[in-house]
């Protein structure tokens, strides 16, 4: 009799512990409600420093850092067209405004950025409850059209000349908007506070080169608010050589870059360091805000050698996402 009571007690303890464990897990699911449009403001901005490093102290004194900056601001409205809580949701996204400001190494830029052509454009995406984009076709078409707008119309030799643009910034902000949820290893199992997971993501650069970072997400805490329970998801970034998938190529042919970056070659990525913080409303299934800040360094070489001086480029990058409604 005593043995039976002990078995029952142990079983009840195990079941209670299992239930307590499940209670500590949170199911992070992206939700869109019918006839409810979500408007977001996206900002990608970076300060760029170009320095010439040399072993010659005399040359080092002469090589003063050069600086430039560029900033893309977007407002995009996401309207659900077909909502399936257990399947794919079709979303129509309309870019309400797009503005680029740029200060080049030598002067203010006067050429309109191709990314500004996003204003008034509409594209559709299909999204799973876990936040994965399953159909990129409409988004890819928009990106390719933007790429066509980036060329000056002039050529150098047999190559077209491309203006600076922030198309890759648009790609990064759209492709990875729901990545904090979409890249959870087993989303249906839920996550506990302290759980970490990773994602490989495109780094937007002032040159049309492909660089990737490994983002490590951490489910840090939960805030109880009148608007619902909000998950705080922290992120850290580092350089990775992982091959990226499912991203579009804006340019269909080879080209020469206009400006300073057209004189540089052989870019070598050195490091990426930074952190971010996202607020995800668990009850409404909505990304409410996301802030990223990281520093990236890379080296390059001049088209024509300039002694032993090595160009070193430092990017101070900030990317923010804010729910407006």
57-98: pLDDT as tens digits: 665 556 788 999 999 999 999 999 999 888 899 999 999 999
Question: Residue 208: its pLDDT value, please?
Answer: 85
* Per-residue confidence (pLDDT) for residue 61, from 0 to 100: 58
Whether the pLDDT of residue 22 is over 50: the answer is no
What pLDDT is recorded for position 190?
A: 93
Check: pTM over 0.85? Answer yes or no.
yes
Q: What does the pLDDT read at residue 323?
A: 98
Q: Which of 107-121, 125-139, 221-235 has the lowest mean pLDDT?
A: 107-121
Q: Is the per-residue pLDDT at 101 higher than 80?
A: yes
Strand ranges of the sheet holding 159-162, from the earlier edge strand across to the other edge: 151-156, 159-162, 255-257
For the segment 263-318, what is each residue's pLDDT rounded down to a tens digit?
888 999 999 999 999 999 999 999 999 999 999 999 999 877 666 789 999 999 99
Q: For position 60, what pLDDT does the model report?
A: 59
Q: What is the pLDDT of residue 18?
A: 39
**pLDDT (0 to 100) of residue 12:** 36
Residue 153 has pLDDT above 60, yes or no: yes
The predicted structure's pLDDT at residue 20: 41
pLDDT of 38 above 90? yes
Mean pLDDT of 148-165: 84
Q: How confident is the model over 189-227, as pLDDT tens digits?
A: 999 999 999 999 999 999 888 999 999 999 999 999 999
Residue 11 has pLDDT above 90, yes or no: no
Q: Residue 55 pLDDT > 80, yes or no? A: no
* Structure-model confidence comparison of residues 15 and 117, the more confident one: 117
Q: What is the pLDDT of residue 107?
A: 67
């Amino acid at each position: 009799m005593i043995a039976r009571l002990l078995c029952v007690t142990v079983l009840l303890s195990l079941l209670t512990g299992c239930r307590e464990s499940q209670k500590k897990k949170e199911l992070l699911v992206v939700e869109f409600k019918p006839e409810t449009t979500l408007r977001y403001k996206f900002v990608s901005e970076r300060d760029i420093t170009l320095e010439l490093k040399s072993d010659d102290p005399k040359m080092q004194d002469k090589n003063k850092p050069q600086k430039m900056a560029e900033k893309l601001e977007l407002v995009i409205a996401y309207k659900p067209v077909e909502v399936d809580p257990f399947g794919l949701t079709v979303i129509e996204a309309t870019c309400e405004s797009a503005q680029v400001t740029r200060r080049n190494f030598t002067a203010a830029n006067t050429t309109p950025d191709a990314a500004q052509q996003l204003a008034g454009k509409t594209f559709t995406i299909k999204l799973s409850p876990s936040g994965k984009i399953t159909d990129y076709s409409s988004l890819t078409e928009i990106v390719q059209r933007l790429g066509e707008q980036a060329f000056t119309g002039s050529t150098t030799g047999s190559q077209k000349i491309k203006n600076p643009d922030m198309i890759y910034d648009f790609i990064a902000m759209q492709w990875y908007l729901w990545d904090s949820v979409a890249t959870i290893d087993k989303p249906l199992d839920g996550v506990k506070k302290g759980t970490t997971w990773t994602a490989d993501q495109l780094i937007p650069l002032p040159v049309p080169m492909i660089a990737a970072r490994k983002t490590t997400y951490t489910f840090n805490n939960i805030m109880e608010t009148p608007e619902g329970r909000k998950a705080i998801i922290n992120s850290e970034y580092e350089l990775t050589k992982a091959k990226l998938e499912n991203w579009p190529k804006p340019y269909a042919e080879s080209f020469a870059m206009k400006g300073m970056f057209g004189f540089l070659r052989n870019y070598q990525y050195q490091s990426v360091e930074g952190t971010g913080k996202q607020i995800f409303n668990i009850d409404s299934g909505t990304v409410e805000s996301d802030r990223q800040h990281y520093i990236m360094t890379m080296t390059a070489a001049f088209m024509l050698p300039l002694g032993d001086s090595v160009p070193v480029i430092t990017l101070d990058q900030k990317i923010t996402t804010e729910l407006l409604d």
